[in-house]
Chain A
Amino acid sequence: MSAAAAPSATPKPVRKAPRKPKPAPGSRRLSPLRILGSVIVWLFTAGNLLVLYWLISASFKTPVEIFTKPFDLPYQWFHAGKPFRNFVYAWNNAGFGDAVLTTVVLVGLATVATVAVSAPAAYALTRLGVRGSGGMTNFVAIGMGVPFQTVIIPLFVVLSKIHFDNQYGLFVLYVALSIPFTVFLLTGFFRSLPDELEEAAAIDGASPTRTFFSVMLPLARGGLITALILNAIGLWNETLLAIVFLKDQAHFTLSRALFTFYGAASYQSEYGGLIAGVAIVVLPMLVLYLLLARRIITGLTLGAGK
């Protein structure tokens, strides 16, 4: 307090701002629905956290610990001075080394390709005022409603005929299957951007291509990042298509390698190693999400208007 700087001021009673300002009257009332809602939300969150805790702690345990003390903290391997023994085992026995490379490249390329195709498509569908764009948007969105499991056999037949039943075919499938959702997601983002920005760009002399790249795309960044993350998580975890289309062990993705490893590890009762393998597959996506969640939420269009 710099009260001394103002000599004439008589010492005023110090007013302290409340730590939490009062909510609007009535907004805090406990309705049965609100109580039920929070109970469900908290149970759901607790359940998820419990599973996550169990997964991480079990990946450091011996099989005996996993089954006798499922919710205790890991002890045995730490005591033996080899805390990462399970991870080392999983990494060496499941062929994760190659699989990580394959997965990162495949998922990375497929995600980028999906967004690179979907963003201009979504922009054209929402912004260029093309005749029938509403119908076309719906047509693309229908793709979301087709479960890919139902078309997996025809896809396999077609792709194996043209000798594309390998990681390249899988790349094409991943991109094709991700586009409907991504276009749908991005049309929403582009539609929410104010018209005036495009008009201002047009008056500033920007061509439609320039407007797309230097005005609209940066503003849709939140949407693009969301699309990238959601697709990356989905494709990273994708197992069924990988099982069907990948035959060469050298080009297995992580989830495909884990599937093979599951058989071997459970046969040898290496449950600690198996769970460590699951953790290796799951945790990178969790970290990715935690790092980027804030960026998804931050609205970039703030300040565009008044």
Chain B
Amino acid sequence: MSSVTFTDTTRFYAGVEKPAVDGLDLEIADGEFLVLVGPSGCGKSTTLRMLAGLEGVDDGTIHIGDRDVTELPPKDRDIAMVFQNYALYPHMTVGENIGFHLKIAKMAKEEREKRVREAAELLDLTAYLDRKPAKLSGGQRQRVAMGRAIVREPSVFLMDEPLSNLDAKLRVQTRTQIASLQRRLGVTTLYVTHDQVEAMTMGDRVTVLSDGVLQQCDTPIGLFARPVNVFVAGFIGSPAMNLLESTVDGEGVVLGGTRIPLTPAQRSALTGPGVVVGVRPEGWDLGEAGTGIDAVVEVVEELGSDQYLYCRTSGSDKVFTVRTPGMAPWQRGEKLGLAPKPGAVHLFDAASGDRLPDA
């Protein structure tokens, strides 16, 4: 078990001017579960594949513990990887799939079988050890892929969207299983996903990437409570944060009828007159029409536990998402007034996208 350190790691793809991963500095602590999240094409899989040794590193270094692995082939890195489509060997049984690495490492047969059996028991696969992957369900295949990784007792687990091929219900179940398994084994894990719910629920820390550049690396709570820029604010949280462009007016910004004051520190951090005001769907106080921002309910999404209202404002013609308790009596076409709750406002500089210092 060991830490992982990316230092100024950069990766170019042939024929593309812009690097796929640009000067990544990231440290994963020993035993930590770190999730890389971002939209497609943001470089998260490339980062993982560089750590796996499946992708070259054009600039910078990667360390596992104290070892510089930048130029090492995958087999010498002491890592195990779970692929998105599992990449099980279709001509081998489950047992052979799980034990393939141990066989290559020339482990004695009894020891190998013991390790495979232990891994199978841990993952509830004992009954399927003699089956071929084609005879397994999606969830079972996913567990075989996990088994292949844990049987090696590596210093780092790499997981490349391992849940994206499961159906929604199984995904939620497996999510918890993987997270608890990782905590039990205590193996440093780098987990790639595009699903921010997975990222928030599984990771000790979450790293948000966009266009190959690290945006923010923080605990799920930190990401949610203090997004460092407009991109992270819009990406983390479901439904997304409401972002509204506004301009500085004297000593504050005006949002609908509400005036939000800016501190001197915030004002000096501004690079232009533009400010982006962000309010999460749960950050609104709902009142009578005429108080705060006037809006009309356009769509009501009832989830049982929650209700999402999509409200069109009369002035700016923007649609705001508002979260209310489930089974609330809101109807399409109803008029209401929206006011941000105190402390629920996130302020960003419109030109740079960066968060303004908190008051």
B13 in contact (CB, < 8 A):
no
Residues 111-163 of A at the B interface (beta carbon under 8 Å): none
Name the residue of chain A whose CB is nearest to the CB of B134: A303
Give the total of A residues in contact with B, Cβ under 8 Å: 23
For B75, the chain A residues whose CB sits under 8 A away are: 202-206
Q: Which of B52, B83, B87, B135 neighbours the largest number of chain A CB atoms within 10 Å of its CB?
A: B87
Minimum C-beta distance from A153 to chain B (A): 46
A244 in contact (CB, < 8 A):
no
Interface size class of B (residues with CB under 8 A): 20 to 34
For B74, the chain A residues whose CB sits under 8 A away are: 199, 202-203, 205
Bound Cα distance A306, B86 (Å): 7
A301 in contact (CB, < 8 A):
yes
Name the residue of chain B whose CB is nearest to the CB of A221: B91
> A204–B104 contact, CB under 8 A?
yes
> A218–B85 contact, CB under 8 A?
no
> A218–B101 contact, CB under 8 A?
no
> B104–A303 contact, CB under 8 A?
no
Q: Which of A204, A300, A306 contacts B90 (CB 8 A)?
A: A300
Bound Cα distance A201, B75 (Å): 9
Given A196-B87, A300-B90; A206-B104 close (CB under 8 Å): yes
> A304–B90 contact, CB under 8 A?
yes
Name the residue of chain B whose CB is nearest to the CB of A200: B87
For A201, the chain B residues whose CB sits under 8 A away are: 89, 100
Name the residue of chain A whose CB is nearest to the CB of B133: A303
Residues 207-244 of A at the B interface (beta carbon under 8 Å): 210, 215, 218-219, 221
> A305–B89 contact, CB under 8 A?
no
Residues 116-147 of B at the A interface (beta carbon under 8 Å): 132-136, 138, 141
Q: Which of A196, A201, A204, A305 neighbours the largest number of chain B CB atoms within 10 Å of its CB?
A: A204
A250 in contact (CB, < 8 A):
no
A194 in contact (CB, < 8 A):
yes
Minimum C-beta distance from B353 to chain A (A): 36
For B90, the chain A residues whose CB sits under 8 A away are: 219, 300-304
Minimum C-beta distance from A205 to chain B (A): 4
A64 in contact (CB, < 8 A):
no
Residues 75-119 of B at the A interface (beta carbon under 8 Å): 75, 79-81, 83-91, 100-101, 104-105
For A199, the chain B residues whose CB sits under 8 A away are: 52, 54, 74, 81, 83, 87
B176 in contact (CB, < 8 A):
no
For B52, the chain A residues whose CB sits under 8 A away are: 199, 203
Given A196-B83, A215-B89; A205-B101 close (CB under 8 Å): yes
For B85, the chain A residues whose CB sits under 8 A away are: 194, 196, 304-306
> B79–A203 contact, CB under 8 A?
yes
Minimum C-beta distance from B250 to chain A (A): 58
Residues 251-286 of A at the B interface (beta carbon under 8 Å): none
> B73–A202 contact, CB under 8 A?
yes
> B88–A304 contact, CB under 8 A?
yes
Bound Cα distance A265, B86 (Å): 63
Residues 41-96 of B at the A interface (beta carbon under 8 Å): 52-54, 73-75, 79-81, 83-91
For A172, the chain B residues whose CB sits under 8 A away are: none
Given A196-B87, A215-B89, A303-B90; A204-B100 close (CB under 8 Å): yes
For B91, the chain A residues whose CB sits under 8 A away are: 218-219, 221, 300
B165 in contact (CB, < 8 A):
yes
Name the residue of chain B whose CB is nearest to the CB of A218: B91
Minimum C-beta distance from B144 to chain A (A): 11
Name the residue of chain A whose CB is nearest to the CB of B73: A202
> B86–A305 contact, CB under 8 A?
yes
> B104–A194 contact, CB under 8 A?
no
Name the residue of chain B whose CB is nearest to the CB of A215: B89
For B135, the chain A residues whose CB sits under 8 A away are: 303
Q: What residues of chain B have their CB less than 8 Å away from a CB belonging to chain A?
A: 52-54, 73-75, 79-81, 83-91, 100-101, 104-105, 132-136, 138, 141, 148, 165
Q: Closest 4 A-B residue pairs measured CB to CB?
A: A303-B134, A196-B87, A205-B75, A200-B87
